[in-house]
Amino acid sequence: MLTNIDIQKILPHRYPFLLVDKVVEMEEGKSITGIKNVTINEPFFQGHFPGNPIMPGVLITEALAQVGAVLLLSMPENKGKLGVFTGINNFKFRRQVVPGDTLTLHAELLLYRHGMGKANVRATVGDEVAAMGEISFAVIDNKANE
């Protein structure tokens, strides 16, 4: 298991854009499961939507990408690098995510070579699928480390 402090050693994201609270399972180079605890204190709920707070789908997608990035950037050859989107494919949003939900983030690596890859991702709340699809990514040098 990785704590939020461990995750911050892997990902460059910080509040309010760090969207993974912990990693509960990881099979190196294969799959990962993380958690995002959704609270009313999230800054995006101020405007999305007043009186009916719903986590934006784009941020659910970003949370899935971040958990996938933890998987990739935990690999010794990718230490200190960045994971960036190159595509988002066949995404479906099935359930609204609201304050009080625990969003479970799953990513399974389908392909990874020469710094490029694809992963199947799925966000769930309990047994219900909130979002699912495929993301494509590249692992690049982090200019902040130069």
The CATH number linked to 17 is: 3.10.129.10
pTM for the full predicted model: 0.96
Active-site position among 13, 48, 106, 114: 48
Are 32 and 22 contacting, i.e. CB atoms less than 8 angstroms apart?
no
Q: How many domains does the chain have?
A: 1
In which domain, by residue range, is 121 found? 4-145
d(CA 116, CA 138): 4
pLDDT tens for the chain, 146 residues long, are 999 999 999 999 999 999 999 999 999 999 999 999 999 999 999 999 999 999 999 999 999 999 999 999 999 999 999 999 999 999 999 999 999 999 999 999 999 999 999 999 999 999 999 999 999 999 999 988 87
Q: Is-catalytic flag, 13?
A: no
Helix ranges, 74-123 (H): none
pLDDT at 85: 94
